Amino acid sequence: MTENFDNKTLIWLQDLQTFLIEAVNDQAGSLGQTWVFSAFVENLENSDEFIKNCCSILCPNTSFKTSVLDDKILCEASQPHVIILLYTNKEMFDQESHYFTDWMHLLCYRHKVTWAYQQRCQLVAQLKQVASII
């Protein structure tokens, strides 16, 4: 990655976005689906700008939040649920790739909690309808 990058350097992300759109066949993200992207980037001078471009290309018209954690940058979009991790330390990137199973467990738990909350909202709406009838 060069120190001075522009949107042309993100063409590979646009290709990835095209691939993903074709792969999901215009299906919207739903409960239980998370896309996780991780990469090692040697030089990330403009990390905030770079991660915002990544998120806006992969998740257009979606709100996202970014944070810097040690030697990695995290971006998370909510709908569809997308996590982008950029590592600036090769050793950390190699070490954390061994925790894929743990990531799966954590994301499964997240989806269960989200599902339970959605079920609660539906039940509250149903109870309000029944209560107004009575």
User: Domain for residue 1, yes or no?
Assistant: no
What pLDDT score was predicted for residue 124? 95
Rounded to 5°, the CA angle 64-52-83 comes to 50
- The H or E element spanning position 84 is strand 81-87
Q: What is the pLDDT along the chain (134 residues), one digit of tens a residue?
A: 444 445 555 677 777 677 766 765 555 556 667 878 787 877 766 666 777 777 777 777 778 888 877 777 778 877 777 888 888 888 888 888 888 888 888 888 888 888 899 899 999 999 998 888 77
The whole domain housing 12 covers 7-98
Among residues 103, 93, 49, the alpha carbon closest in space to that of 71 is found at 93
Distances (CA, A) of 134 to 26, 75, 123, 124, 127: 42, 47, 16, 15, 11
What pLDDT score was predicted for residue 72? 78
User: Domain for residue 113, yes or no?
Assistant: no
How far is the C-alpha of 121 from the C-alpha of 47, rounded, in Å? 38
User: Domain for residue 122, yes or no?
Assistant: no
What pLDDT score was predicted for residue 32? 67
Say how many domains are in the chain: 1
User: Domain for residue 106, yes or no?
Assistant: no
What pLDDT score was predicted for residue 71? 75
What pLDDT score was predicted for residue 40? 81
What pLDDT score was predicted for residue 127? 93
User: Domain for residue 108, yes or no?
Assistant: no
pTM for the model = 0.65
